[in-house]
Copies of this chain bind each other. A is one copy, B any other.
Amino acid sequence: MPEFELPLGFRFGGVACGIKASGRPDVSLIACDQAVSAAGVYTQNQIVAAPVVLSRSRTPSASIRAVVTNSGNANACTGGQGDQDAAEMCRLVAAQVGCSEEEVLVMSTGIIGRHLPMERVEAGIASAAEKLGDSVDHFSAAAAAILTTDKSPKTAHRTVELDGQQVRISAMAKGAGMIAPNMATMLGVVMTDAAIAPQQLQALLSSAADVSFNRVSVDGHTSTNDTVLALASGKSGIEITPERADVFRETLTEVCVELARELVADGEGAQHVMKIHVGGAGSDHDADGIARAIGESPLVKTAITGGDPNWGRIVSAAGYAGFQITPAQTTLRICGTKIFENGTPIAYDAASLSQTMKATPEIDIELIVGSGSGEATRWASDLTCEYVRFNSEYTT
């Protein structure tokens, strides 16, 4: 029996329609019982897929009725035909759930540069609509149908207690490669039955995404399709007033961080997650930039793969990140062990720390770079032969 309740007001469906040659599920549908508030955050790539253009133009919104997602084909770099196909997906869903096409949001992920097989998509949407339901199994089917190279589905659930009453948050995400900050190649939908006005929902989603999905890196490559949507049905009858916003935001952020970490942990070929905390920087922005340089350095990544507490690679990555550091005040801890202090390596038990690193799935890297108050946390995967093999053998 699940330890969580799904938010009220949503139904889910997921089916296989043959976009994927593997026969795995590839059409996911979320239908709202009534019009809901919706917000979105999108890729910052200048090359954007047709569904991103369409959904971006429709959020924030006070009246969304459905979200349709296909996996296996990104509908990116597909020209005018791609725009028509994305719009057609929304029309097909609108006909099924009984709303206007403007009330439907769309996401796609998969191969770039090929047109969607629209006959299959049409059949898939009809089939997903038939199977809509509000059970956990229905939710799981929808979450499975958005996956591509993921090893496992990524979902998170929370209940928020507000003045003695409960609202629920449930979310699903996908993504394992082409993962970079500023929206990884990832899709996500966060749903709640709290009542939240569209602009407020947008602000809450943006702030949560900033410290979660925008803080993860598998390979530093920002995709053309990244989208995270938030939907608020209001079905709990509980409104997120300004007084309640902080508590709600905290839990929403928790959900987003949980999913973001799952993305990194499932990074293509990843054996370890690095949790990189940088402190003592001139500003939070600087700290974040330094953490990013560390998390994206192939030399740091491969050191983590090898269980090597290689402070030289970490400290030198901080030094070239492009933000002020004070070498004489730079101190590094890995898995809680201090190995570099005020600019100089110090004695520690390297063999024991290496053992710890090899046995720890999430490796804490804590770097102080001066006496400033700026700090930030990021998550990044290590770099393995499996990543190289996977991406040199996979082809568009």
Contact between chains at A320 and B77 (CB < 8 Å): no
Contact between chains at B46 and A313 (CB < 8 Å): no
Shortest CB distance A327–B (Å)? 5
- Kindly identify, within residues 295 to 331 of chain A, every residue whose CB is under 8 Å from any CB belonging to chain B: 296-300, 302-303, 305-306, 308, 310-313, 315-320, 324-325, 327, 330
Shortest CB distance A94–B (Å)? 28
Task: Check: A344 CB closer than 8 A to any chain B CB.
Answer: yes
Counting chain B CB atoms within 10 Å of each CB, which of A79, A222, A312, A387 scores highest?
A312
A184-197 near B? 1/0 per residue, CB < 8 Å: 00000000000000
Shortest CB distance A83–B (Å)? 12
Select A76's contact among B305, B312, B393, B394, beta carbons within 8 Å: B312
Q: Which residues of B contact A395 (CB under 8 A)?
A: 303, 306, 308, 310
Task: Check: A47 CB closer than 8 A to any chain B CB.
Answer: yes
A387 to B298, CA, bound (A): 9
Task: Check: A375 CB closer than 8 A to any chain B CB.
Answer: no
Count the A residues whose beta carbon is within 8 Å of the partner chain — how many? Answer: 62
Asked whether A388 and B305 contact (CB < 8 A) given A221-B298, A221-B299, the answer is yes
Q: Which residues of B contact A385 (CB under 8 A)?
A: 385, 388-389
Task: Check: A178 CB closer than 8 A to any chain B CB.
Answer: yes
- Kindly identify, within residues 221 to 274 of chain A, every residue whose CB is under 8 Å from any CB belonging to chain B: 221-224
Residue of B nearest to A326 (CB): B46
Q: Which residues of B contact A59 (CB under 8 A)?
A: none
Residue of B nearest to A305 (CB): B392
Contact between chains at B387 and A319 (CB < 8 Å): no
Task: Check: A14 CB closer than 8 A to any chain B CB.
Answer: no
- Kindly identify, within residues 368 to 396 of chain A, every residue whose CB is under 8 Å from any CB belonging to chain B: 383-385, 387-389, 391-396
Shortest CB distance A389–B (Å)? 7
Asked whether A391 and B47 contact (CB < 8 A) given A77-B315, A320-B221, A345-B113, the answer is no
Q: Which residues of B contact A345 (CB under 8 A)?
A: 77, 113
Residue of B nearest to A392 (CB): B306
Q: Which residues of B contact A224 (CB under 8 A)?
A: 312, 316, 319
Counting chain B CB atoms within 10 Å of each CB, which of A180, A299, A343, A394 scores highest?
A299
Q: Which residues of B contact A317 (CB under 8 A)?
A: 221
Task: Check: A362 CB closer than 8 A to any chain B CB.
Answer: no
Residue of B nearest to A307 (CB): B392
Q: Which residues of B contact A175 (CB under 8 A)?
A: none
Q: Which residues of B contact A318 (CB under 8 A)?
A: 46-47
Contact between chains at A392 and B308 (CB < 8 Å): yes
Q: Which residues of B contact A79 (CB under 8 A)?
A: 343-344
- Chosen A-B contacts, 11 in total, with CB atoms closer than 8 Å, are A47-B325, A47-B330, A113-B312, A180-B320, A221-B297, A221-B313, A221-B316, A222-B320, A299-B391, A302-B392, A308-B396
- 10 additional contacts (CB under 8 A) given A46-B327, A222-B316: A44-B320, A45-B316, A77-B340, A182-B320, A222-B319, A223-B316, A302-B388, A303-B391, A312-B396, A383-B392
